[in-house]
Structure 1
Amino acid sequence: MKLHARMAAPIKDVHHALTDAGSLRIWLAEHAEVDLPHRYAFWGRDTPEGDAPHQRPLHVDDRTLRFSWLLDGEDTTVEIRLAEESPDSTVLTLSQSHFDYQEMITGSSIRGVLETYWSLAIANLADHLEGRELTPRPDFTSPELKGEFIIDASPEAVFDSLVDSEKVSRWFNFPIEIEPQVGGRYALGGFDAGHAAKIIDLDPGRAMTVDWGDSGVTTWELEGSGGGTRLTFVQSGFDTGRPPYAGWMGWLSGIAELRRFHELDGWRPIWLDADAAEGAAAAG
């Protein structure tokens, strides 16, 4: 598993946010302790298997952080590399071993949450570095999957960006096709991907509910708030013994980008593919 993202901050600021315990407690975890090169640990309700710290530092320099993380009995390795794109922009690449997409789909191991866990964490890191409000993290000790977000845009504009296939695909950074009507399809990967959820409720400008089958239903509710929009997002109707944390964090990281999409002049996605990441770093 490998993720690439652009941070709108100098490389030294990104490195500090990655290695300072106080910063980690803001954007990454409920608890964190750092004393490099001897200790690098984070844990808490918003960390997978976060009852206690399970990390051990392996290597750190001014552009690399590598640590082991015991998850579901396997000693995984996380590596974060930084490359300067410009004096005020840094390309971050994060990889983690022992991630399997099948485990993400089936929920058979907590390691299945890793890609979306880090997607949300990196989105929050980007907002932390820019002084923006962070997206709420999940509570792995609770089956309640609900979040509220304030977006500096009108409910009409936000709703349009939730149902327009081209706009959703841009901020979610993944192809999504939508038929915005009750009974219409909502297809991650597009209609040709072979499986689509169903829109079961639609109130233009105010609400939409999508049925994903065994994963439950997702509901977006919008209301005006101080000139902006309060977006309430809920996932329900799933087996509470196995909450779909992986999918939930995928949506949360998407909502972080939805907020940026509406609020930042000249918005561009923080996410890069491998070629774009290498090109951006080389250009710097």
Structure 2
Amino acid sequence: MSNPLHIQVTLDASRDRIYAALTEDVALETWFAEHAAIRLGEQRYDYWGRYTPGTPSQDEGEHPLLALNVKRHIRYAWQFPEGITKVDIGIVPRDGQHVLFVRHSDLPKKLDPKYANLEDFWFLSLENLRRYLDSKQIVRCDFSEMGTGDIQHSVEIEAGAEAVYEALIRPEQLNRWIASNAQVEAVEGGDYKFGWGDLGAIKILDMEDNRKLSYDWVEGDETPDTMVTWELEETAGKTRLTMVHSGFAADHSTEGMQAGWLNFMSWIKSLVEYGAQWQPAIKQLDPESYAYYPASMVAAQDQIVEDLPAQAELRLDDARPMGRYVELVSAVSNVAEAVQFYASVGFKNLSPNLMTDGSINLRFASGAGPKISLHYYGCDLKALPDFFVQGDGYMQTAAPGDVMVLCFPDENPYPMPPGDIFTRQPHSQLGKFGSLSLNIPDVKMSRAFWEQLGFQSTLDSIEPYPWSIVTDGQVVVGLHQNNPRSRFNQPHMTYFSTDSDMRIANLQKRGMELIPMEPRRGPQIANAQMSGPGDLKFFLYEGEV
């Protein structure tokens, strides 16, 4: 096995959809693992169960998150009996699509047999991800059922038997999913070879067009020669494809082959259902191994992503979390009126003066004070930076941009929205929360301030003026350097949606005053500014966070 093991797949999906598929529990439990508990804010990327090599328990399925570059790069640790390995998952744009790569590194030279099929696991997983994003049926591999003796798998393919049979018998099709140089003499006793030398398939033993194909199989070690049989059964335009690899002794270990055959069946299913545009996931190959991989994969070696995404990386192992609960606190003159306003735009009550939009919790404080502040709970006050000052049972500091940060040692009784700031599901009519955006004098100095609180930069730019986006996994803060062209002359809340024009039109119909902002989309307003209680400003933008 290569070390590191690098496998990548091209996906016809947006970065947001791919990232959601990688970070939402329900999504991962659909295409990747039996169970998943992704808690980016708690530095966890946990998954376990029978669809993972080794069938780990929940405790064995704990994966510490080592690094995060939001929507670009995830790194976590995977513990094996022989040592700790690292998994990097990256998303890279290419020609209007996205390449997702997995790079599994620090692999032991010799793995426990139950983990020996890691390559097939990743191949199968990436094909399942593609099929999940395209709303197609996926192919699950149950590692709890793998062991000894003959191998049998079945899949249902959305195509007739003739198309499926061609994938088994035509050399140009075999070269797309299994063969490096297929040679087929389509008669009983005829040659049937993949280009693997004297290994693998050798001769056709039995065949019936569109119904059955059998050939012998040579492993080249002490394993007796065996037989592979494919049977096709068409019903109502669909084909049930069954593969049986037989001839093994009942106690002969075939654990390392079972996932491989299921992966090949997954590739056949996709080849037939997607058609000519389908390309299997690409492994970075050593030239000496070219003969044992599909010709289509060998031909695509120049497409390999060589480097991790060139963006500022959020290294969670260096972060200093300030507590697991944070809420934004807005100073208003009338709490009841504030509650009524926010309820009208889709916020929901958690208490008489605390509401949530599904991404953040927002509390209202009556009277004078900062327009907006951040309150953290469950903090270790002794671990805070020296610039915090003592309050009445809490510590506080003034952040650049006219925002106060308060830290309380006690836990807050109210829940945070499920998940973390990157994966939460908002229900506000304003869209998805983007950031608490601040007007600051110097972006580098301000970023350094937030970094001391455990925040890290996820995006930086100097156009049209210096700005930076920082996060601690619980809340996102936008830092906008003071500039005449900057709209952020005071703290603002930003929201994003792909249907912002409809949202803005609906808010206007209900009598809310909005100030259009450029750019427009024809006669429709796609970006706008509105004011809330306490003169807190909201910017509504078209687009994705």
- Which band: TM-score by shorter chain? 0.7 to 0.9
**Which residue pairs with 1:95 in the alignment?**
103
After superposition, the Cα gap between the structure-2 partners of 1:60 and 1:177, relative to the gap in structure 1 and judged at 3 Å, is farther
**Which residue pairs with 2:68 in the alignment?**
60
How many Å apart are 1:152 and its aligned residue? 2.5
Which is bigger in relative contact order (C-alpha 8 A, separation at least 6)?
Answer: 1
**Which residue pairs with 1:203 in the alignment?**
208
After superposition, the Cα gap between the structure-2 partners of 1:10 and 1:172, relative to the gap in structure 1 and judged at 3 Å, is farther
**Which residue pairs with 2:416 in the alignment?**
none
In structure 1, distance between residues paired with 2:140 and 2:186: 27
After superposition, the Cα gap between the structure-2 partners of 1:6 and 1:246, relative to the gap in structure 1 and judged at 3 Å, is farther
Aligned residue among 2, 8, 31 for 1:27: 31
How many Å apart are 1:120 and its aligned residue? 0.3
In structure 2, distance between residues paired with 1:270 and 1:156: 21
In structure 2, distance between residues paired with 1:275 and 1:81: 18
In structure 2, distance between residues paired with 1:98 and 1:239: 35
Point out the more displaced range, 163-172 or 219-228: 163-172
SS state at 2:13 partner:
coil
**Which residue pairs with 1:168 in the alignment?**
174
After superposition, the Cα gap between the structure-2 partners of 1:93 and 1:64, relative to the gap in structure 1 and judged at 3 Å, is same
Q: Is contact 1:208-1:220 (8 Å) kept? A: yes
SS state at 2:144 partner:
coil
**Which residue pairs with 1:79 in the alignment?**
88
How many Å apart are 1:216 and its aligned residue? 4.4
**Which residue pairs with 1:128 in the alignment?**
132
SS state at 2:167 partner:
helix
Q: Give per-residue Cα distances to partners, 1:140-197, cap 9 Å, x unaligned.
A: 3444743322223221221122011211112447444334333444434x16x34343
Q: Is contact 1:32-1:42 (8 Å) kept? A: yes
In structure 2, distance between residues paired with 1:216 and 1:138: 23
After superposition, the Cα gap between the structure-2 partners of 1:136 and 1:233, relative to the gap in structure 1 and judged at 3 Å, is farther
Q: Is contact 2:44-2:64 (8 Å) kept? A: yes
Aligned residue among 268, 271, 278 for 2:281: 271
Q: Is contact 2:48-2:56 (8 Å) kept? A: yes
After superposition, the Cα gap between the structure-2 partners of 1:181 and 1:173, relative to the gap in structure 1 and judged at 3 Å, is closer
Q: Is contact 1:218-1:236 (8 Å) kept? A: yes
Which structure is larger by alpha-carbon Rg, 1 or 2?
2
Structure 1 counterpart of 2:174, one-letter code: V
Report whether the alignment pairs 1:146 with 2:156: no
**Which residue pairs with 2:187 in the alignment?**
181
Aligned residue among 217, 231, 240 for 2:241: 231
Q: Is contact 1:224-1:230 (8 Å) kept? A: yes
**Which residue pairs with 1:13 in the alignment?**
17
SS state at 1:32 partner:
strand
Aligned residue among 153, 161, 169 for 1:155: 161
In structure 1, distance between residues paired with 2:78 and 2:249: 28
Aligned residue among 213, 217, 221 for 1:212: 217
In structure 2, distance between residues paired with 1:153 and 1:141: 28
Q: TM-score, normalised by structure 2?
A: 0.46
In structure 2, distance between residues paired with 1:183 and 1:266: 30
Point out the more displaced range, 18-27 or 71-80: 71-80
In structure 1, distance between residues paired with 2:259 and 2:281: 16
In structure 2, distance between residues paired with 1:229 and 1:69: 38
SS state at 1:166 partner:
helix
Aligned residue among 97, 112, 118 for 1:114: 118
In structure 2, distance between residues paired with 1:95 and 1:30: 22
Q: TM-score, normalised by structure 1?
A: 0.83
Q: Is contact 1:148-1:232 (8 Å) kept? A: yes
Point out the more displaced range, 227-236 or 10-19: 227-236
Q: Is contact 1:48-1:110 (8 Å) kept? A: yes
In structure 1, distance between residues paired with 2:264 and 2:179: 8
Q: Is contact 1:185-1:196 (8 Å) kept? A: no
Aligned residue among 45, 48, 55 for 2:53: 48
Give percent identity, aligned residues only. Answer: 27
Structure 2 counterpart of 1:230, one-letter code: R
Q: Is contact 2:131-2:137 (8 Å) kept? A: yes
SS state at 2:131 partner:
helix
Q: Is contact 1:99-1:114 (8 Å) kept? A: no
In structure 1, distance between residues paired with 2:100 and 2:67: 16
In structure 2, distance between residues paired with 1:240 and 1:75: 34
Point out the more displaced range, 126-135 or 147-156: 147-156
In structure 2, distance between residues paired with 1:2 and 1:95: 4
Q: Is contact 1:17-1:24 (8 Å) kept? A: yes
Q: Please, which runs of 5 or more residues in structure 1 have no aligned partner?
A: none
In structure 1, distance between residues paired with 2:27 and 2:301: 27
Structure having the higher helix fraction is 1
Structure 1 counterpart of 2:88, one-letter code: E
In structure 1, distance between residues paired with 2:228 and 2:107: 26
Structure 2 counterpart of 1:197, one-letter code: A
